[in-house]
Amino acid sequence: MLAGKTALVTGSTSGIGKAIALRLAADGANIVLNGFGDANEIEALRAGIEKDYKVKATYSAADLSKADAIEAMMKEAAATFGGIDILVNNAGVQFVSPIEEFPVEKWNLIIALNLSAAFHTTRLVLPHMKKQKWGRIINMGSAHAKVASPFKSAYVAAKHGISGLTKTTALEGATFGVRCNTICPGYVHTPLVDGQIADTAKARGMSEEQVKNEVILAAQPTKEFVTVEEVAALASFLCTDAAAQINGADLSIDGGWTAQ
pLDDT grade, residue 6 (50/70/90)?
Answer: very high
Contact 212, 197 (CB under 8 A): yes
Q: Is the pLDDT of residue 12 over 80?
A: yes
Q: Summarize the confidence of residues 92-109 as an average pLDDT.
A: 96
Superfamily of domain 6-186+227-259: NAD(P)-binding Rossmann-like Domain (3.40.50.720)
Give the tens place of pLDDT for each residue, 160-206. Answer: 999 999 999 999 999 999 999 999 999 998 877 788 788 889 888 99
Among residues 53, 59, 155, 187, which one is catalytic?
155
Smallest Cα–Cα separation from 256: which of 157, 166, 149, 184?
Answer: 184
Concerning whether 59 is annotated as a catalytic residue, the answer is no
pLDDT at position 195: 80
pLDDT at position 1: 87
pLDDT at position 219: 86
Contacts 24+ apart (CB under 8 A), 76-83: 77/6, 77/8, 77/32, 78/128, 80/32, 81/6, 81/30, 81/32, 81/56, 82/6, 83/6, 83/125, 83/128, 83/129, 83/132
Is 0.85 surpassed by the pTM of this model? Answer: yes
For the chain, the domains span 6-186+227-259
Count of positions (residues) in the chain: 260
pLDDT grade, residue 111 (50/70/90)?
Answer: very high
Q: Is the pLDDT of residue 238 over 90?
A: yes
pLDDT at position 221: 94
pLDDT at position 196: 76
pLDDT at position 134: 98
